[in-house]
């Protein structure tokens, strides 16, 4: 009985993979792909928040696109519940996403996408560090990953009249579904990721500095895309812990952070880039500054 139970339990990816290592592999491959097309790609590093200068050359006055990548490590599954199982191969995975949390990860990423950033959720289609290392050596980590956008998730929810809340993305190496009830979810081919960024730069006149200003302004207006919560009682636990985004302090804290960066001698463009980068990083996502050379 115990052995059968163990066989049916999912494999927790965070126990067999490192999010740090996986995120590094994805970030380096995306950087290299963008640079191979003639673009400049500079990832935000959290250490920049405490340093006196950016420490690298980011041109804020040329055409640019903020690229955000959210890494997701979920579970490798052996059984789909509840039945019936959608079209999935024997090896399939899932990760959780909360589309209802006020000022949460999904809301930040969706608003950033709507305000002009390129935003992707990226999750592995493998579940062990030895397999990861092989993909890393061959520069195939991105190829062996699922890529979806926040807007695709919101579109599935809207078109099927599904309320916001806790959902699961279930996927194999060919297709993906938004659950609880399996709803087909559009994915992005790994080769198309860089093409989408390149297309943005080819068709926009917005400078990187202007694009980051738009994202910062959007951070203040995330409630615009918030849908009505499910019927039921409010979450009193959130009030107990005095979450800044719940009691109205988030905007003031963000503005103070911007003023502190500028008071240290940063230009307005640098300070905005740091505020956007730091807030994105605090949510667990990687921001990459992409510009034309």
* pLDDT tens sequence across 115-129: 999 999 999 999 999
Is a pLDDT exceeding 80 seen at residue 81? no
Look at residue 3 and tell me if it is in a domain: no
2 domain residue, yes or no: no
Dump pLDDT digits (tens) for 244-293. 666 667 888 899 999 998 988 888 999 999 999 999 999 999 999 999 87
* Residue 160 to residues 57, 88, 169, 209, Cα–Cα distance (Å): 45, 21, 15, 37
In this prediction, residue 14 has a pLDDT band, given cuts at 50, 70 and 90, of confident
Q: What pLDDT, on a 0 to 100 scale, did the predictor assign at position 226?
A: 85
Encode pLDDT of 147-197 as tens digits: 999 999 999 999 999 999 999 999 999 999 999 889 999 999 999 999 999
* In-domain check, residue 159: yes
Judge whether residue 6 has pLDDT over 90.
no
Question: What mean pLDDT comes out for the span 96-120?
Answer: 94
Domain containing residue 82? 9-227+235-292
- Does residue 1 lie within any of the structural domains? no
In-domain check, residue 148:
yes
Does residue 69 lie within any of the structural domains?
yes
> How many structural domains compose the chain?
1
Percentage of the chain exceeding pLDDT 90: 64
Residue 287 lies in a domain: yes
Question: Domain for residue 221, yes or no?
Answer: yes
């Amino acid at each position: 009985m115990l052995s059968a139970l163990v066989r049916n339990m999912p494999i927790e990816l965070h126990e067999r993979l490192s999010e740090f290592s996986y995120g590094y592999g994805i970030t380096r491959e995306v950087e290299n792909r963008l640079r191979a097309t003639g673009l400049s790609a500079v990832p935000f590093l959290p250490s920049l928040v405490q340093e006196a200068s950016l420490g690298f050359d980011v041109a804020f006055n040329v055409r640019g696109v903020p690229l955000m990548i959210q890494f997701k490590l979920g579970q490798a599954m052996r059984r789909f519940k509840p039945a019936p199982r959608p079209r999935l191969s024997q090896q399939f995975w899932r990760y959780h996403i909360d589309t209802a949390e006020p000022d949460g990860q999904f809301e930040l990423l969706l608003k950033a996408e709507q305000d002009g950033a390129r935003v992707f959720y990226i999750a592995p289609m493998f579940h062990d560090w030895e397999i990861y290392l092989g993909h890393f050596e061959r520069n195939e980590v991105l190829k062996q990953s699922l890529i979806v956008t926040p807007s695709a998730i919101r579109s599935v929810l809207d078109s099927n009249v599904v309320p916001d809340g806790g959902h699961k993305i279930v996927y194999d190496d060919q297709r993906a579904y938004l659950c609880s009830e399996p709803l087909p979810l559009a994915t992005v081919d790994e080769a198309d990721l860089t093409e989408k960024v390149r297309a943005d730069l080819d068709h926009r006149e917005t400078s990187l500095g202007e694009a980051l200003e738009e994202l910062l302004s959007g951070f203040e207006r995330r409630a615009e895309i918030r849908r009505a919560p499910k019927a039921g009682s409010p979450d009193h636990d959130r009030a107990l812990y005095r979450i800044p985004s719940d009691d109205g302090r988030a905007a003031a804290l963000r503005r103070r952070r911007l003023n502190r960066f500028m008071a240290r001698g940063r230009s307005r463009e640098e300070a905005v880039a740091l505020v956007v980068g730091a807030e994105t990083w605090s949510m667990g996502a990687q921001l990459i500054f992409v510009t034309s050379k």
